Amino acid sequence: MNGFDYDLVIIGGGLVGSSLALALRNAPLRIAIVDAQSEAQRRASPAGARALALAEGSVQILQRLGVWAAIEPDATPIRHIHVSDRGHFGKTRLDAEREGVKALGHVATARAIEEAVIGALHDAPADLLEQARLIGLKAGDDRICVTLRQGDDTLNLTTRLVVGADGGDSSVRKLLDIGSTARDYGQTAIVLEVATERDHRNTAYERFTASGPLAMLPIDRKRCSVVWTLSHHDAEDVRSLPEAQFLATLQETFGHWVGRLSIATPRQAFPLKLIRADRMTDRRVVLIGNAVHQLHPVAGQGFNLGLRDAAQLAEGLIGRTEFGEDIGSAGFLEAYAASRSRDLQNVVFFTDSLVRLFSNRFAPLALARNLGLVALDCWPAAKQRLASHAMGLARRIPRMPS
Ligand SMILES: Cc1cc2nc3c(=O)[nH]c(=O)nc-3n(C[C@H](O)[C@H](O)[C@H](O)COP(=O)(O)OP(=O)(O)OC[C@H]3O[C@@H](n4cnc5c(N)ncnc54)[C@H](O)[C@@H]3O)c2cc1C
């Protein structure tokens, strides 16, 4: 075989694709990672500044990948979660100590995680093909041909398995005609950092408002990352407000749980959609991460779910390699898809229901959800279930080599 033959080609070196490559660094597999961007372009992207809430299950996976030690100094533990419905009486609080854990999760920027994972990949034997775009896929019996465009050049690779980790707008999904269901929530998330007058005491706030949810994640002792979800129209209006007016609107919507707020970073906007692929696999191809499920950030689950995809797939691939079995066989890919479907369905259902329930202004529903929040606050067993959902510990963590 020529130099362009691989065992595994990962299309998309974002957070999920890179985590998969890292999980496989000691496996005897020839791996190529293909990304449309260069490392410098990724570093310069303002999207890297978004804060991600990491479930404890994800922290355990990152520990096994050997990168948590590099992320932890810049990560903030979540010790309390406070959920409230603006203008209504219901609220609930989750507390790490009461749940018998040190933290309910951690908050870290996408950039901090990316730097740690991609930094660790530099020592791995995988080939990195940057500024290369996938333009064609053709599956044969024991190999699949991958065509890439890199500048003016066309590259042809062959491999036993292609992993599509190329995000919500996945070219792998489109080239293979894998259908998808998209729900446009008609909402945009405005993301920025604020300084807080009072210490947030490691509390993550989720405040549901008539116009959409507002999350305030602790990122430093007196600093929080805001993810403020609004209708496209309201987001456009709010985003273009002069700073003082924007701040006043934000403060009024969030309340004074951490005292006066002041703006620390520019506002960024992310249009929100639920995209769900109709299936995860095709001949010698499997989709993971946002390529299968792009979620609303309300429950902070997108990367957590994608990381579990990567960990589970790595576990399966390592097992196949140990026994010299074909890593792209239909049987293996179907078994992988079946093993992920329950987690995926649960998280999509949980996230989508949360958005719809709390975006609804219908008065009886507002009353019902407030009674629900009060009931949750008084009912330890239900609260424990919500906590384990939020912590991502309700599922088995895939066994990966450390
Ligand atoms: C505002 C906001 C807040 C969020 N908060 C949270 C949170 O708190 N917790 C959480 O778990 N998740 C959160 N998420 C979701 C999380 O950011 C995503 O789920 C995660 O980044 C998806 O990673 P990915 O690697 O699957 O896709 P991406 O990050 O989209 O990476 C895809 C990669 O593929 C490359 N690519 C694309 N097309 C091609 C092509 N044709 N050829 C080659 N390469 C290609 C791209 O350059 C990119 O590097 C949030 C998202 C947003 C927008």
CATH label of the domain that carries residue 285: 3.50.50.60
pLDDT of residue 99: 78
Q: What is the pLDDT of residue 247?
A: 95
Query: Packing angle between helix 15-23 and helix 302-322, nearest 10 degrees?
Result: 30
Return the best residue to mutate from 114, 188, 290 for the ligand 1 pocket (most ligand atoms within 8 A of CB). 290
CA of 13 relative to ligand 1 center, distance in Å: 10
Of the listed ranges 19-28, 55-64, 311-320, 366-375, the least confidently predicted one is 366-375
1 has pLDDT over 50: no
* Number of neighbours of residue 147 by Cβ within 10 angstroms: 15
pLDDT for res 174: 97
Percent of all residues in the chain with a pLDDT value above 90, rounded to a whole number: 63
Range in 84-88, 263-267, 272-276, 342-346 the model is least confident about:
84-88
Question: Closest ligand 1 atom, CA of 37?
Answer: 47
First-last CA distance in the chain: 32
- At CA 386, angle to CA 384 and CA 389, rounded to 5? 110
| DSSP-derived pairing of the beta strands 31-34 and 127-129 | parallel
Residue 389: inside a domain: no
- Condensed to tens digits (0 to 9), the pLDDT of residues 37-75 reads 998 998 888 888 899 999 889 999 999 999 999 999 999
Give the pLDDT mean for 349-355.
Answer: 75
Question: Predicted confidence band at 364 (pLDDT cuts at 50, 70, 90)?
Answer: very low
Which atom of ligand 1 lies at the shortest distance from residue 191's CA? 1
Instruction: Provide the pLDDT confidence category of residue 2 given band limits of 50, 70 and 90.
Output: very low
> Residue 37 carries which DSSP code?
S
What is the number of domains present in the chain? 1
Count of CB atoms situated within 10 Å of the CB of 348: 19
- Mutation test of ligand 1: which of 166, 227, 304, 309 has the most ligand atoms closer than 8 Å to its C-beta? 166
Dump pLDDT digits (tens) for 177-207: 999 999 888 889 999 999 999 999 999 888 8
CA pair distance 96, 63, nearest whole angstrom: 20
Instruction: Name the residue of 52, 62, 229, 301 to mutate for ligand 1: max ligand atoms within 8 A of Cβ.
Output: 52
Q: What is the pLDDT of residue 365?
A: 46
- Min mean pLDDT across 67-76, 78-87, 195-204, 249-258 is at 78-87
pLDDT over 60 at 390, yes or no: no
What does each C-alpha distance from 169 to 49, 151, 159, 254, 294 come to in angstroms? Answer: 21, 21, 23, 32, 9
pLDDT of residue 125: 86
Separation CA 290–CA 274 (nearest Å): 10
Most confident of 110-119, 210-219, 372-381: 110-119
Q: Nearest 5 degrees, angle CA 227-CA 231-CA 237? A: 90
In this prediction the pTM is 0.90
Position in ligand 1 atom list of the atom nearest CA 305: 11
Which residues surround ligand 1 with Cβ inside 6 Å? 11-17, 34-37, 50, 52-53, 110, 133-134, 165-167, 171, 189, 191, 227, 270, 289-290, 297, 300-304, 306
Question: What are the pLDDT digits (tens) for 214-249?
Answer: 889 999 889 999 999 899 999 999 989 999 999 999
The reply to whether 226 falls in a domain is no
- Helix, strand, or coil here: 28? coil
Residue 117 belongs to some domain of the structure: yes
Domain range for 300: 5-76+106-182+273-359
Instruction: Calculate how far, in angstroms, residue 166's C-alpha sits from the geometric centre of ligand 1.
Output: 8
Ligand 1 centroid to 133 CA: how many Å? 16
DSSP 202: T
Residue 198 domain-assigned? no
